């Protein structure tokens, strides 16, 4: 595939699962009250089990798109379906876990208490809550810190708690909004690897917002390149790096080729213009 004939609006390649799209976005636009077009005519399909990254500079609508999927905002026009349901229905059915830029842990709860919180809100029986929290903390390697308070953990550990919390109620989907954006490069690369392991082990579908090109290439099965003013989908780049990926993946020729492809797509959409 050459860059020139990459469709500006892409439908999902189904080579990974062959299932009908788990997430279906059709001609979705979002215009704020002040007239700012946060997202224009976005169309995207995400199949079950995919790891899709949304990449682009500030103002490209990547966080907006994620918030629309999560029913934290409503589109001005267009339709969104998550497993055949509206985002509001999907939210009420607890179809997704959301991880924000900040860990957003409750100061007054221990690590275990934070993972228990969604389970309490959702009314899981006590024994099951405890069992799930224990399993989730083991999954992110934080069993030993179960009784620590958030302030006693590093930023990376706090974000792992936040991921364990999002997975605790076993949602089909994981929405992640620049979860490692505030972390240093070394911690970020370690957590990238750990996230890929979690993705493999749990079989979740992940939609991941980032503005780091290497992070997007390393993690994703497909990269949705977005550009600002108005926010729109520039192109979708499939990532054919073999699984499972490791630290060495970042040093392969294909990794650099894909990173270059993403970078050029961003430039084509003026993604490198100075932000205002």
Partner 1 sequence: MRHSRLAAWGPLLVVAAVAMAIYLPLVVVANYPLAARTLARGATLPCDSALACTFFLRNPVLPAPNQLLGGILALSWPPGAPYALPLNAWWTAIETVVGLSLAATVGFLFAVLLVLSRAFQLSVLPWIVASQTVPIVALAPMLVVLLGRYGVQGWLPKAIIAAYIAFFPITIGLAKGLQSPDRLALDLMKTWNATTFQVFMRLRIPASLPFLFTALKVSTAAALIGAIVGEMSTISFAGLGKMLSENARASDVVGTWVLMLACALLGILLIAVVDLVERLVTPWRR
Contact residues for partner 1, defined by CB under 8 A = 70-72, 91-92, 94, 96-98, 100-102, 104, 106-110, 117-118, 120-122, 149, 151, 169
Sheet holding 205-210, edge to edge: 96-99, 173-177, 205-210, 51-55, 222-227, 232-238
Give the nearest distance from C-beta 72 to partner 1 in angstroms: 5
**38 vs 236 by CB, closer to partner 1:** 38
CB atoms within 10 A of CB 57: 20
Bridge partners, 177 (sequence order): 209
Q: Rounded to an integer, what distance in angstroms lies between the CA atom of residue 164 and that of residue 141? A: 10
Residue 42 tokens read as: 């976005």
Q: Is 120 exposed, middle or buried (0-12, 13-18, 19+ CB in 10 A)?
A: exposed
Question: What residues contact 213, with CB distance under 8 A and at least 6 apart?
Answer: 55, 259, 262, 263, 266
**27 vs 106 by CB, closer to partner 1:** 106
Residue 21 tokens read as: 């799209």
Residue with tokens 């205002």: 276
**94 vs 135 by CB, closer to partner 1:** 94
**40 vs 178 by CB, closer to partner 1:** 178
Give the nearest distance from C-beta 37 to partner 1 in angstroms: 22
**113 vs 238 by CB, closer to partner 1:** 113
Give the nearest distance from C-beta 147 to partner 1 in angstroms: 11
């Amino acid at each position: 595939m050459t860059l020139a004939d990459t469709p500006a609006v892409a439908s999902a390649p189904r080579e990974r699962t062959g299932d009908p799209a788990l997430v279906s976005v059709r001609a979705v636009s979002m215009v704020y009250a002040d007239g700012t077009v946060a997202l224009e005519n976005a169309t995207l399909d995400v199949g079950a089990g995919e790891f899709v990254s949304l990449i682009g500079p500030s103002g490209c609508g990547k966080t907006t798109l994620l918030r629309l999927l999560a029913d934290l905002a409503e589109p001005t026009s267009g339709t969104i379906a998550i497993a055949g349901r509206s985002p509001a229905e999907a939210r009420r059915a607890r179809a997704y876990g959301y991880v924000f830029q900040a860990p957003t842990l409750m100061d007054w709860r221990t690590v275990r208490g934070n993972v228990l919180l969604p389970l309490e809100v959702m009314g899981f029986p006590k024994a099951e809550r405890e069992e799930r929290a224990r399993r989730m903390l083991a999954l992110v390697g934080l069993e030993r810190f179960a009784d620590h308070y958030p302030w006693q953990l590093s930023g990376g550990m706090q974000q792992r708690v936040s991921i364990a919390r999002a997975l605790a109620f076993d949602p089909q989907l994981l929405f992640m909004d620049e979860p490692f954006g505030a972390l240093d490069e070394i911690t970020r690369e370690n957590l990238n690897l750990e996230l890929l392991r979690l993705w493999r082990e749990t079989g979740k579908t992940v939609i991941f917002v980032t503005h780091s090109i290497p992070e997007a290439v390393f993690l994703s099965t497909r990269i949705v390149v977005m550009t600002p003013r108005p926010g729109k989908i520039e192109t979708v780049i499939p990532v054919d790096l073999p699984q499972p990926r490791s630290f060495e993946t970042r040093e392969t020729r294909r990794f650099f080729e894909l990173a270059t492809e993403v970078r050029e797509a961003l430039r084509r959409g003026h993604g490198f213009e100075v932000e205002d």
